[in-house]
Amino acid sequence: MRILIQRVSQASVTVDGQVISKIGKGLLILLGIGHQDGEAEAISMSEKVAHLRVFEDAEGKTNLSILDVKGEAIVVSQFTLYANTSKGRRPSFIEAALPEVAEPLVKKFAELLQNHGVPTQTGKFGADMLVEIHNDGPVTIWLEK
C-alpha cells in the first residue's frame, strides 16, 4: 500500500463536470494498492493516517493530527503510485493490484478512516477525475506499507 498525503486548505474531485467530493482543511489522500495488500494493511494505514501529526499547533510545530484539528479527508484511488520507470520511458503498472482487488480495499480504507472519526469522502474508482488541491505548507508525506 502506497499513500501520498497532501495537507490541504481545500480540495475537490470533479467527474464529468460534477463536483463529487469537496473539503476544507484536511488531507487529500492518494491511495495505491499493490498485489500484496489486504485488509490488515488498510487497518494499519488508516490508523496511521488518522493520527499522523502534520498540522501545526499554536507554536507552529507539526504536533496535531487531522482528528485534533477536526479536518476532513478525500481518498482518491491512484494506481499510478505503483509506476515502475526503471526500464524505458513508458511506466509499467504491473505492481498495482487489479481493479477487482483494489476497489474494495480503497473503499475499506476510506470506511476505516471514517470510523476513526475523520469525515471522509472519496473520488470515483476508475473514473477520469479532476483533482483540485490547495496544498497547505506545502506539506506532502509519503507512506508505504
Quote the Cα angle for 101-105-106, to 5°: 115
The per-residue pLDDT for range 57-75, each reduced to its tens digit, is: 999 999 999 999 999 999 9
CA-CA distance, 15 to 13, in Å (whole number)?
A: 7
| Active site residues per annotation | 78-80
**What does the DSSP assignment read for 26-43?**
EEEEEEE-BTT--HHHHH
Q: How much is the pTM?
A: 0.95
Domains of the chain listed by start with CATH number: 2-144 (3.50.80.10)
The per-residue pLDDT for range 80-129, each reduced to its tens digit, is: 999 999 999 999 999 999 999 999 999 999 999 999 999 999 999 999 99
